[in-house]
């Protein structure tokens, strides 16, 4: 099959704000330096919805969304030696080429090798591997996992333990690794500290999991959906505050509740107002606030410079700060050794033709993660 076009099913995003449409698509063979994957499972992340709603300045249509996948190598293009057909793999929206300025720096997990073509919805040679009804269809985040087969750069994929269930470890391709890594790598949460997390979705609860592992004394969940408190307890949420139930600004409520403010806060929503609240709820002198939420182009954060002058630190995080191809196989091992929760994040499973349901239950706040089985 390696050199043949594969005809298969995909959930295509034809236009912003329109439901995904089940279509027959053609997937071209991998070119040099590329890998074609048979996708077996994919999570649905809020970022897929962010782009589908037309908020993503890099969102191009028609496209195949999805960036939290797991599958098997179907074929490799010329020059690809580190993977072979049958390998169990997770696609990576932050690649690792080991050769660019970013990969050579210990300060970041970003990789610059293919970011410009990835943001343009095409493969490194500037073209797409997908067609549908005679039209070219864009790639997404270098992954496009809402399709039975996808093609990715050899830099955007890692081999994982074949014993690991792909319909679970697909979630290590984004949300869980992001939140967990933010606590460990970006904020470096210290034992005994106080933490507040805005947005108790899969990302926020993965942050909680990391904070608990680091021995945080208090992990306060902040969410406007009261159901999230019960849901958050198994992941390490120890207290819950619903801003809707407070008369005063949440910053005041939390500062009083924690003797001056939090040692660490995290924003896992994508709302510039809660980003400000998260920063201003940090403790004077040392509080660190980490932004994980994705906000659209044109959205800007603001605060009084005095907040920073008096020692608060505002930072951000992509994919948990993990250098992707090094870290994801290790995170899979940690899960296999039962040292990392993954199963508990799966709320629903859907077949590909019900993928729009997965978006619906996420928006309704009923799901941490839905996994689509292909
Ligand atoms: P989700 O939709 O599952 O969870 C969002 C949570 O925020 C929900 O529980 C919702 O009730 C809560 N919420 C919404 N508005 C709120 C408000 N005003 N105050 C308090 N709580 C509020 O989303 P997710 O999949 O967990 O993703 C969360 C965010 O992280 C999104 O913006 C997503 O795009 C982003 N994200 C970023 C990265 C990264 O690498 N930086 C990775 C994955 C996801
Ligand atoms: N195209 C989007 C990018 C938004 C964004 O920040 N994406 C995150 C991952 S969210 C995964 O659910 C990220 O890691 N970005 C790093 C990068 O290189 O884009 C926009 O808004 O422009
Ligand atoms: Zn994501």
Tokens encoding 14? 């034809």
Does 175 contact ligand 1 (Cβ within 6 A)?
yes
- pLDDT tens digits, residue range 222-268? 999 999 999 999 999 999 999 999 999 999 999 999 999 999 999 99
Tokens encoding 130? 């997908």
Does 177 contact ligand 1 (Cβ within 6 A)?
no
| pLDDT at position 2 over 80 | no
- Angle formed at CA 257 by CA 254 and CA 258, multiple of 5 degrees: 90
Cα-to-centroid distance, 48 and ligand 3 (Å): 7
Tokens encoding 47? 């970022």
Known active-site residue 174: yes
Helices (H), the chain: 46-52, 115-119, 166-169, 175-181, 202-213, 227-232, 250-257, 272-280, 305-309, 324-336, 355-363
Q: Classify burial at 83, counting beta carbons within 10 Å of its beta carbon; exposed 0-12, middle 13-18, buried 19 or more.
A: middle
Tokens encoding 311? 């020692």
Ligand 1, atom 35, lies closest to the CA of 293
Ligand 2, atom 1, lies closest to the CA of 58
Give the whole-angstrom CA distance, residue 277 versus residue 274: 5
Max CA pair span of the chain: 64
Known active-site residue 170: no
> Which atom of ligand 1 lies nearest, measured to the CA of 45?
25
What residue ranges in 105-163 does DSSP mark as E strands? Answer: 130-132, 135-137, 149-153, 157-159
- Predicted TM-score of the model (pTM): 0.98
Of 59, 83, 82, which is closest to residue 72 (Cα–Cα)?
A: 83
- pLDDT tens digits, residue range 181-233? 999 999 999 999 999 999 999 999 999 999 999 999 999 999 999 999 999 99
Q: Which residues contact 128 (CB under 8 A, 6 or more apart)?
A: 121, 122, 136, 137, 138, 139
Cα-to-centroid distance, 317 and ligand 2 (Å): 10
Q: Are strands 264-267 and 288-291 parallel, antiparallel or unpaired?
A: parallel
Give the whole-angstrom CA distance, residue 185 versus residue 179: 10
Residue 157 has what pLDDT? 98
What's the whole-number mean pLDDT along residues 62-76?
Answer: 98
Residue 3 has what pLDDT? 83
Residue 64 has what pLDDT? 99
ipTM for the predicted complex comes to: 0.99
């Amino acid at each position: 099959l390696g050199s043949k076009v594969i005809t298969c099913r995909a959930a295509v995003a034809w236009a912003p704000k329109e439901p995904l449409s089940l279509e027959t698509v053609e997937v071209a063979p991998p070119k040099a330096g590329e890998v074609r994957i048979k996708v077996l499972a994919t999570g649905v992340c809020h970022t897929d919805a962010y782009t589908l709603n037309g908020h993503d300045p890099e969102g191009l249509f028609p496209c195949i969304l999805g960036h939290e996948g797991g599958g098997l190598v179907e074929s490799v293009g010329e020059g690809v030696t580190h993977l072979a057909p049958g390998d169990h793999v997770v696609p990576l929206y932050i690649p690792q080429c080991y050769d660019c300025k970013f990969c050579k720096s210990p300060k970041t997990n970003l990789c610059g090798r293919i970011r410009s073509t990835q943001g343009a919805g095409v493969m490194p040679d500037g073209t797409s591997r997908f067609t549908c009804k005679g039209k070219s269809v864009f790639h997404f985040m270098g992954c496009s996992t809402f399709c039975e087969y996808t093609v990715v750069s050899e830099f955007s994929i890692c081999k994982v333990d074949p014993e690991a269930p792909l319909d679970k470890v697909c979630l290590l391709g984004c949300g869980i690794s992001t939140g967990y890594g933010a606590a460990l790598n970006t904020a470096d949460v210290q034992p005994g500290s106080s933490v507040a997390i805005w947005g108790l979705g899969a990302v926020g609860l993965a942050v909680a999991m990391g904070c608990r592992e680091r021995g945080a004394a208090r992990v306060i969940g902040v969410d406007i959906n009261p159901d999230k408190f019960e849901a958050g307890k198994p992941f390490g949420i120890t207290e819950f505050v619903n801003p809707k139930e407070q008369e005063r600004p949440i910053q005041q409520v939390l500062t009083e509740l924690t003797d001056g403010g939090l040692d660490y806060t995290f924003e896992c929503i994508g709302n510039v107002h809660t980003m400000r609240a998260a920063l201003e709820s940090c403790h004077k002198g040392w509080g660190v606030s980490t932004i994980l939420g994705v906000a659209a182009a044109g959205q800007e954060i603001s605060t009084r410079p005095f907040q920073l002058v008096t020692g608060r630190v505002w930072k951000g995080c992509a994919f948990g700060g993990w250098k992707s191809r090094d870290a994801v196989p290790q995170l899979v091992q940690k899960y296999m050794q039962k040292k990392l929760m993954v199963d508990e994040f799966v709320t629903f499973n859907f077949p590909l033709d019900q993928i729009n349901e997965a978006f619906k239950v996420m928006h309704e706040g009923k799901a941490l993660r839905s996994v689509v089985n292909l």
